[in-house]
């Protein structure tokens, strides 16, 4: 159990100061989620049929807030596809920030479980292709199942599920993609608070190791994207070292070869030095961080 004397608590108390107790409490509360309509389904009557009571936000089209205690289990439509995907609303905004266009060649470098991938697939609008990659066999199987449950067969022909180490894309397919989403493996502090073993193993050094891995993946994304292409880097960490620190390292090393773009704050976002953060103490969901980078 994490108390005020635990290294985890003390570390983030130093990072966030007077705000930390509120963040710490919010991380232990159940986060708000949305039910996002499956736009690849031919069934267009979801709002009238089931979700009419959920207030919809203009910034989250097709998404409906799930009230506490409400049953949000997806159901099959008449076309045999599931009707909604339940996810953190910040994840929707991250996927939208990639601004995938019809005909793009897209890489989702660490794609499982697949909620963001579905949004990217929808954005292709009948043309282009997407590579949904995840190195973990277990996570990759979950990713495949999500694609089978939500994506029509006619669209799956342009969806490739791969199991490479993400750094390989930069080496083997330089300038091969119009858009790259890197939702990087991270500390995931919300999950640490739910796992006693993870609490016992945690140390600031783990964050340092993860940040090094995250930078290697981001550098690979930079190599893999075409000039003029876009990268969205994201994590579900509250650690500045894993967020702004990784992005700023790329900006420093690549200099004029990359440009930081100003990302939209969306619902509940707050500006950081290099990107946008959604923090549960203020918006009720997250944590989630993202930054938008263009290869010049």
- pLDDT score at 53: 41
Count CA atoms within 13 Å of residue 151 on its CB side: 29
Rounded to an integer, the average pLDDT of 201-212 is 94
The pLDDT-based confidence of 49 (bands split at 50, 70, 90) is: very low
How large is the C-alpha radius of gyration of the chain?
A: 19
Segment 103-121, tens digit of pLDDT: 999 999 999 999 999 999 9
The proportion of the chain whose per-residue pLDDT surpasses 90, expressed as a percent, equals 78
Given a contact cutoff of 8 angstroms between Cβ atoms, the answer to whether 192 and 287 are in contact is: no
- pLDDT score at 50: 55
Q: Is the model's pLDDT at 227 over the cut of 70?
A: yes
* Domain boundaries, given as residue ranges, for the chain: 88-295
Q: Is the model's pLDDT at 3 over the cut of 60?
A: yes
- pLDDT score at 214: 98
Q: What does the chain look like in DSSP terms, one character per residue?
A: ---TTSHHHHHHHHHHGGGHHHHHHHHHSPPP-EEEE-TTSS---HIIIIITTSPPPTTSTTEEE--TT------B-TTSSBSEEEE-HHHHHHHHHT---TT-EEEETT-TT-HHHHHHHHHTTTSSEEEEE-S-HHHHHHHHHHHHHHS-HHHHTTEEEE---THHHHHHSTT-EEEEEEE-----HHHHTT-HHHHHH--HHHHHHHHHHHHHHHHHHHHHEEEEEEEEEEES---TTTTHHHHHHHHHHHGGGEEEEPPP--SS-EE-SSSEEE-HHHHSS--EEEEEEEE-
User: What is the rounded CA–CA span in Å between residue 94 and residue 108?
Assistant: 12
Q: Is the model's pLDDT at 68 over the cut of 80?
A: no
Which CATH number does 88-295 carry? 3.40.50.150
The proportion of the chain whose per-residue pLDDT surpasses 70, expressed as a percent, equals 95
Name the pairing type of β-strands 129-133 and 105-108.
Answer: parallel
Rounded to an integer, the average pLDDT of 200-215 is 94
Given a contact cutoff of 8 angstroms between Cβ atoms, the answer to whether 150 and 118 are in contact is: yes
User: What is the rounded CA–CA span in Å between residue 249 and residue 260?
Assistant: 12
Cβ neighbours of 234 (radius 10 Å): 27
Rounded to an integer, the average pLDDT of 143-161 is 96
Q: Which residues are catalytic?
A: 236
Q: Which residues does 202 contact at the CB level (< 8 Å), separation at least 6?
A: 7, 8, 187, 192
In angstroms, the Cα distances linking 172 to 165, 167, 168 are: 11, 9, 6
Name the pairing type of β-strands 105-108 and 177-183.
Answer: parallel
Segment 77-95, tens digit of pLDDT: 888 999 999 999 999 999 9
- pLDDT score at 261: 97
Question: How does the average pLDDT of the chain come out, rounded?
Answer: 92
Segment 50-61, tens digit of pLDDT: 554 445 456 787
Rounded to an integer, the average pLDDT of 263-291 is 94
User: What is the rounded CA–CA span in Å between residue 235 and residue 231?
Assistant: 13
Q: Is the model's pLDDT at 204 over the cut of 50?
A: yes
- pLDDT score at 28: 94
User: What is the rounded CA–CA span in Å between residue 289 and residue 44?
Assistant: 32
């Amino acid at each position: 159990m994490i108390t005020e004397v635990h290294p985890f608590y003390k570390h983030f108390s130093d990072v966030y100061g007077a705000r930390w107790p509120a963040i710490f409490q919010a991380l232990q509360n159940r986060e708000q989620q949305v039910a996002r309509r499956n736009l690849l389904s031919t069934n267009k009557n979801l709002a009238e049929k089931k979700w009419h009571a959920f207030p919809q936000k203009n910034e989250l089209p097709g998404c409906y807030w799930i009230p506490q205690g409400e049953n949000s289990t997806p159901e099959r439509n008449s076309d045999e596809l599931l009707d909604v995907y339940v996810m953190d609303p910040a994840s929707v905004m991250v996927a939208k920030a990639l601004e995938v266009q019809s005909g793009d060649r897209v890489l989702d470098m660490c794609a499982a479980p697949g909620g963001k991938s579905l949004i990217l697939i929808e954005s292709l609008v009948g043309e282009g292709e997407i590579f949904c990659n995840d190195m973990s066999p277990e996570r990759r199987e979950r990713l495949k199942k999500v694609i089978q449950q939500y994506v029509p067969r006619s669209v799956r022909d342009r969806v490739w599920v791969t199991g490479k180490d993400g750094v390989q894309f930069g080496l083997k397919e330089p300038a091969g993609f119009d858009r790259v989403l890197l939702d990087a493996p991270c500390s995931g502090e919300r999950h640490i608070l739910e796992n006693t073993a993870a609490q016992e193993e945690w140390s600031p050094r783990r964050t340092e190791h993860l940040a090094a891995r995250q930078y290697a993946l981001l550098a690979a994304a930079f190599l893999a994207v075409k000039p003029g292409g876009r990268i969205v880097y994201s994590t579900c960490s509250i650690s500045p070292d894993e967020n702004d620190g990784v992005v700023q390292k790329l900006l420093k090393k690549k200099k004029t070869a990359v440009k930081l773009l100003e990302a939209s704050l969306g619902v509940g976002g707050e500006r950081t030095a290099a990107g946008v953060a959604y923090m549960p103490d203020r918006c009720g969901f997250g944590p989630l961080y993202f930054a938008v980078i263009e290869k010049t």
